Chains A and B, each alone.
Chain A
């Protein structure tokens, strides 16, 4: 199987320090891959590198390659990158409370991201927006379309962001801690939704998280990141039951387990 996304020996440097050190990672179609690390480990920097959104004054990619559908993203000009970003590669940001424009209605924000180039179908942008809102679980999409962000709860806003990311039929979804700001019940719903979308559209999903519980629940494979380096990677099952590296073991040991919670679930 060919990879949808292949990051090879990526090095990102600030003036004097190396932020990302020779990171390799792959995501295939119909696969959920978790990128796990503590805060400051460089998870979001990798996501930004893939999206071509590194702040170029401070950080630069000094070596390595990022290939998406056999196209080297690093050699693309900004103009061509724009045709990929938000289209074939979509991004779900971490903070649903700040990612939406507070002054724009949900409808305008959904339609803004619509690119007619990617739609040969007959449906109008508005029809597509309504259909997607329905798909992400809204009972009354037309009311949501008219709403302003402040009228929606955190979970609803996160679902709006997922709908926005799906506007142009992406192939790869980069989800940067999409559930961190949400309650457990909503988190479970969003995780379930992402699983369904993966099955339905054959999406490749790069899931950035620091929560090993989420990895266990959703991911097929995982990469463990520490200070900008991938210390271990493998199938979720192997990472949890046969971790090889000390750091992975530490992460697993740091989980707060309540014995009855696990016992009751068995």
Chain B
């Protein structure tokens, strides 16, 4: 691609050390995100999605690799310059309830941003700006006096998005922003996010375990399994031609709200066949892979390909696993 990426992770690893063991939460992940585009990350719980997001925002110390943001290395920046960078990168958490302070009003949460980042602005200027962001997220400015328990789930999530928008960030990290919402609300928040992206050209890093939501917003999708990216491709390509057995399994397991279609599909289960789970060398998915060969247990596959990368030793063979149609039994 000709444009330079908004952010880039270059072989980033995050390791946690406990008294008993070292855990590779994120392992050698390389990804790029672009302005005005959405990079989606999908994986099961515990696959390292959130740790990766925190590493990008410098909320987690990385053990190796480099992180670039707007072409500067930020992984070795000092805390003062990180503070300045935070203006440009904002995080939306999964659970709006625990993100908001229950003892403060909605307006207070918006005001707080100014006292940290723009203390020089006058009250009138602040009020004007707050009104403007509330309008962008379609919230009534009169809601400012309410406490979080007086707001609905959707209103809370809109408020949190508004708070992030005050800073006009160039990167927004969204960690499961829709999972606490009702189905009917999800769509409206998703539309809001899309609308904001078109308007401001923000780059999104969208983390979720729900592939059907991701398909509707992401331009590129990276699939994570136990800390590593096993497959990464454009959304279209990944959904229509998944290669890694894990991706195929994930796609086949999404229930589609179409009973006739569901009758024709059967989910592809890939349960663990051997215990213990392999660590160290070898493919981390080998113990669940129906096509694992000796090489898979001894050498770690490296992501290959340019636009559609897969970390698998035998991509040609696995491709035929489900006949490429999401578990449809044809």
Interface residues of A (CB under 8 A from B): 38-39, 137, 139-140, 154, 183-189, 191-192, 210-218, 236-237, 240-241, 250-252, 254-258, 260-266
Contact = CB atoms under 8 A, between A and B. Distances in A.
Contacts of B45: 154, 183
B254 A261 contact: yes
- The 8 A-B pairs with the shortest beta carbon distances in the complex, nearest first, are A258-B215, A213-B255, A188-B253, A188-B267, A212-B257, A217-B255, A183-B44, A260-B239
* Residue of A192, A260, A264 most packed against chain B (CB within 10 A): A264
| Dominant secondary structure of chain A at its interface with chain B | helix
Contacts of A257: 212, 216, 257
A260 B44 CA distance: 22
A49 B269 CA distance: 36
Interface of B: 44-45, 153, 182-184, 186-187, 190, 209-216, 235-236, 239-240, 249-262, 264-265, 267, 269-272, 275, 324-328
Contacts of B182: 38-39, 210
B184 to A, nearest CB: 4
Contact of A254 (B183, B250, B253, B275): B183
Contacts of B269: 185, 188-189, 192
Contacts of B236: 260
B261 A262 contact: yes
A264 B240 contact: yes
Contacts of A183: 44-45, 209
B257 A264 contact: no
B190 A256 contact: yes
A215 B255 CA distance: 9
Contacts of B271: 137, 189
Nearest to B328: A265
Given A210-B182, A212-B183, A266-B261, A261 B251 contact: yes
Given A240-B259, A265-B256, A265-B326, A254 B184 contact: yes
Contact of B257 (A39, A250, A255, A260): A255
A216 B262 contact: yes
B216 A264 contact: no
A184 B183 contact: no
B259 A237 contact: yes
Contacts of B324: 264
Nearest to B153: A39
Contact of B255 (A39, A137, A211, A240): A211
Contacts of B235: 258, 260
Given A188-B267, A188-B269, A251 B255 contact: no
B284 to A, nearest CB: 15
B325 A265 contact: yes
A237 to B, nearest CB: 5
A131 B212 CA distance: 36
Contact of B262 (A137, A217, A251): A217
A263 B235 CA distance: 13
Contact of A185 (B183, B184, B239, B249): B249
A184 B250 contact: yes
10 contacts: A187-B253, A188-B253, A189-B271, A216-B261, A255-B257, A257-B257, A258-B239, A261-B215, A263-B240, A266-B261
Contact of B275 (A139, A218, A261, A265): A139
Given A38-B183, A139-B275, A240 B258 contact: yes
Given A240-B259, A260-B239, 15 more contacts: A183-B44, A184-B209, A185-B249, A185-B250, A185-B253, A188-B253, A210-B182, A236-B259, A240-B258, A258-B235, A261-B256, A264-B251, A264-B326, A265-B256, A265-B265
A214 B183 CA distance: 13
Contacts of B186: 254, 256
B33 to A, nearest CB: 20
